[in-house]
Chains A and B, each alone.
Chain A
Amino acid sequence: MSIYCDGGTRVIVQGITGSQGLFHTERMLEYGTEVVGGVTPGKGGQQVLGLPVFDTVEQAVRATGADASVIYVPPAHAADSILEAADAGLRLCVCITEGIPVRDMVAVKRVLAQGHTKLIGPNCPGLITPGACKIGILPGDICKPGHVGVVSRSGTLTYEAVDQLTARGIGQSTAVGIGGDPIRGEGFIEVLQAFAEDEDTLAVVMIGEIGGSGEERAAAWIRDRLRKPVVAFIAGRTAPEGRRMGHAGAIISGGQGGAAEKIEAVRACGIPVADTLDLIGETMERALEQAGLLERCRT
């Protein structure tokens, strides 16, 4: 079991003929993801990596029975690609693209609220269910199948967390990078909800950073609703106010969204927070031990 994707997920790649799309499609195929086709307007009828290319997502879905897509389309056109995926009825859409204008995402978010398509990203590394399905750009070889879910706003911090868990023999159910943009599809709470419902996920690592109040709201939700151990890490204690730290959403403004306040709020909800990055694995190990889950989680 897992969330969002598993061995049966059939994926199409929007922007498959671009250099990024092509490179990562090959990596996904190597990992064993069932990529069933691609979409690039104007290139319908071609074949790449042995996969059929279509002009539209609708055609691709009809021909391949895909239920998910991953987007490697330049920022100016990526919002349109997300809307196209939703319109074609895909269950899941994962948008890797960085730098989509915020105004475009405001409209996309409003439209998605009326349908059933779940969006991961944009500006994210995607997600992986180890041993079964990888959608996006995460490195598959550091992952290990298991029972700990990972949800993170940062790509490389997702890798760091997964790597520390794997080094301790703790496998992962699904690792989800929700992305660093101010407006995104699935947030912490939606992903936590999915982990809550997934019988195979026994505990969760949540990785946040400065900006917004998603971590605080997620922590309150965990306190009230989630009966599984959660540990957290929040990056950006040293970040200065008013400066955007790489991610468009990572900014402390008007005294809001600082790391110290977030850490305090998360701890106040009874969630252990790793003091520094190198302690994520250790903190989770201790939480699993206390919950009597460590043996089951050593996979």
Chain B
Amino acid sequence: MKIHEHQALDLLGAYGVPNAGGAVAFTAGEAAAAAQGLPRGRLVVKAQIHAGGRGKAGGVRLADSPEQVGEIAAALLGSTLVTPQTGPAGRRVNRLLVTPAVDIAREFYLGLLLDMDSGCTVLMASAEGGTEIEEVAKHRPERILRARIDPLVGLRRFQLRNLTAGLGLSGQAAQDFEDIAQALYRLFVERDCSLVELNPLVETAGGRLLALDAKLSFDDSALFRHPDLAALRDPLEEDPREVEASALKLSYIPLEGSIGCMVNGAGLAMATMDLIQAQGAQPANFLDVGGGAGADKVAGAFRLLLGDGNVRGILVNIFGGIMRCDQLAEGIVEAARRVELALPLVVRLRGTNAEQGARILADSALAITPENDLKRAVETIVRLTGGAGR
């Protein structure tokens, strides 16, 4: 789960990571009032969306007075920002952070994330802050310093000394860096984070370090022990279809194609999407129904798929292990009746009781095409939805 920048800065503040201060605003009036409450001088108005790349998209603007903050806020609120991370549809701006501009001497990157290969948390730091860290990683990997953290002993001072030396920090700034890194790791562990990023972490003209932007995301599996964090969720930032899917305990990700997919198992769902693409068509979504899918769940999944205007047909691919294909077929027939399915539906069943399942589908008098051979099933749905190139 992601949270907004202003929420992340607040949370980091509670752990002792300093920021430039400021206030959140949901209306132009609130933004102007927030500006009044800040010290006189240059101000920054930052769109709060759960995606990076805001600056280049015009979502971060400078202002010289509270009046100007109000004008910028009026223009930004309700507008749609398109950044490389939002996809072509962009994100609507519903809230802003108004914050004092900071006199920046140097910009750093500081992040914590899980390294899947070692099974440890890794601290990453770079003197090339303010830019996309992925770009630095790709073109100048030697400019990213890393410290692997052993969970039994935590982040050690020698590791921090290595980092400050590598970054060219000394004196008060080095001390600030050590304090901020330790606070970040404490937050990461205590609040079950999956990613913490300060980008940039800046050294001010006065030689102190401040977090100017922060990105935090949390391990969804651990939210049960952090109700206060779960309350920070902003449903406006999520695709309503994904919210609906998660209520049905479905794992669903909408994509751009025209063939709706319903599959059991995440790996099989991905492999099915790949097979559709290999046939020259495009999948409309990833959808893992998980184990045990009754009529209610299948009907819910069908409604989700049909809610996508691009979908021209549906492919169901189930490998029944513990799930019995005959029971699933009954669920599919019932669900297709309930949602009055009018689009082509190809169903591939394999595994436990697959033959009985196919018979139930064939006998249903509904326009369902059972096809238990995987490749032929994909070929059939591609043909029924208008062929390759869609």
Chain B 272-308 interface mask (CB, 8 Å, partner A; 1/0): 1111111000110010100000000000000000000
* 7 A-B pairs with least C-beta separation: A154-B267, A246-B266, A156-B265, A101-B222, A139-B321, A156-B268, A212-B116
Instruction: Point out the residues of chain A lying under 8 angstroms from B189, CB to CB.
Output: 103
Name the one of B85, B137, B268, B270 contacting A242, with C-beta atoms under 8 angstroms. Answer: B85
Is B363 an interface residue, CB under 8 A from the partner?
no
Is A54 an interface residue, CB under 8 A from the partner?
no
Is A107 an interface residue, CB under 8 A from the partner?
yes
Residue on A nearest B377 in the bound complex, by CB: A278
Besides A156-B264, A250-B270, A254-B137, 6 other A-B contacts (C-beta < 8 A): A102-B194, A103-B192, A156-B319, A157-B267, A246-B267, A277-B272
User: Which of A103, A105, A137, A156 counts the most chain B CB atoms within 10 A?
Assistant: A156
Q: List 9 A-B contacts (CB under 8 A).
A: A101-B225, A139-B352, A183-B116, A214-B116, A217-B117, A235-B271, A238-B282, A277-B275, A278-B275
Q: A139-B352, A245-B266 in contact; A235/B222 too (CB < 8 A)?
A: no
- B265 pairs with A106, CB closer than 8 A: no
- B253 pairs with A152, CB closer than 8 A: no
Could you tell me the distance in whole angstroms from the C-beta of B158 to the nearest C-beta in chain A?
19
List residues of chain A with CB under 8 Å of any chain B CB: 23-24, 27, 75-76, 99-107, 109-110, 125, 137-139, 141-142, 152-157, 159-160, 163, 180, 182-183, 207, 209-214, 217, 233, 235-240, 242-243, 245-250, 254-255, 259, 275-278
Is B351 an interface residue, CB under 8 A from the partner?
yes
Instruction: Point out the residues of chain B lying under 8 angstroms from A141, CB to CB.
Output: 352
- A245 pairs with B374, CB closer than 8 A: no
Instruction: Point out the residues of chain A lying under 8 angstroms from B224, CB to CB.
Output: 76
Name the one of B151, B272, B283, B352 contacting A106, with C-beta atoms under 8 angstroms. Answer: B151
Name the one of B269, B274, B276, B374 contacting A246, with C-beta atoms under 8 angstroms. Answer: B269
- A247 pairs with B117, CB closer than 8 A: no
Chain B 112-124 interface mask (CB, 8 Å, partner A; 1/0): 0010110111000
Residue on A nearest B257 in the bound complex, by CB: A238
- B117 pairs with A212, CB closer than 8 A: yes
Residue on B nearest A154 in the bound complex, by CB: B267
Residue on A nearest B273 in the bound complex, by CB: A238
A250 to B267, CA, bound (A): 9
Is B350 an interface residue, CB under 8 A from the partner?
yes
Count of B residues near A, CB < 8 Å? 54
User: Which of A75, A153, A183 counts the most chain B CB atoms within 10 A?
Assistant: A183
Residue on B nearest A109 in the bound complex, by CB: B119
- A275 pairs with B192, CB closer than 8 A: no
Name the one of A105, A238, A254, A255 contacting B270, with C-beta atoms under 8 angstroms. Answer: A238
- B265 pairs with A245, CB closer than 8 A: no
Is B89 an interface residue, CB under 8 A from the partner?
no
Instruction: Point out the residues of chain A lying under 8 angstroms from B251, CB to CB.
Output: 246
- A153 pairs with B255, CB closer than 8 A: no
Instruction: Point out the residues of chain B lying under 8 angstroms from A249, CB to CB.
Output: 116
Q: A213-B117, A246-B251, A255-B134 in contact; A154/B268 too (CB < 8 A)?
A: yes
A5 to B17, CA, bound (A): 51
Instruction: Point out the residues of chain B lying under 8 angstroms from A183, CB to CB.
Output: 114, 116, 119
Could you tell me the distance in whole angstroms from the C-beta of A122 to the nearest C-beta in chain B?
10
Is B247 an interface residue, CB under 8 A from the partner?
no
Name the one of B114, B137, B267, B275 contacting A247, with C-beta atoms under 8 angstroms. Answer: B267
Instruction: Point out the residues of chain B lying under 8 angstroms from A237, CB to CB.
Output: 274, 277
Q: A106-B121, A247-B267 in contact; A236/B288 too (CB < 8 A)?
A: no
Could you tell me the distance in whole angstroms from the C-beta of A264 to the nearest C-beta in chain B?
15
A239 to B261, CA, bound (A): 13
User: Which of B120, B264, B265, B319 counts the most chain A CB atoms within 10 A?
Assistant: B265
A152 to B253, CA, bound (A): 23
Is B314 an interface residue, CB under 8 A from the partner?
no
- B116 pairs with A276, CB closer than 8 A: no
Could you tell me the distance in whole angstroms from the C-beta of B362 to the nearest C-beta in chain A?
22
Instruction: Point out the residues of chain B lying under 8 angstroms from A107, CB to CB.
Output: 151
- B270 pairs with A235, CB closer than 8 A: yes
Instruction: Point out the residues of chain A lying under 8 angstroms from B221, CB to CB.
Output: 75, 99-102, 248
Name the one of B119, B133, B351, B374 contacting A277, with C-beta atoms under 8 angstroms. Answer: B374
Instruction: Point out the residues of chain A lying under 8 angstroms from B274, CB to CB.
Output: 235-238, 259, 276-277
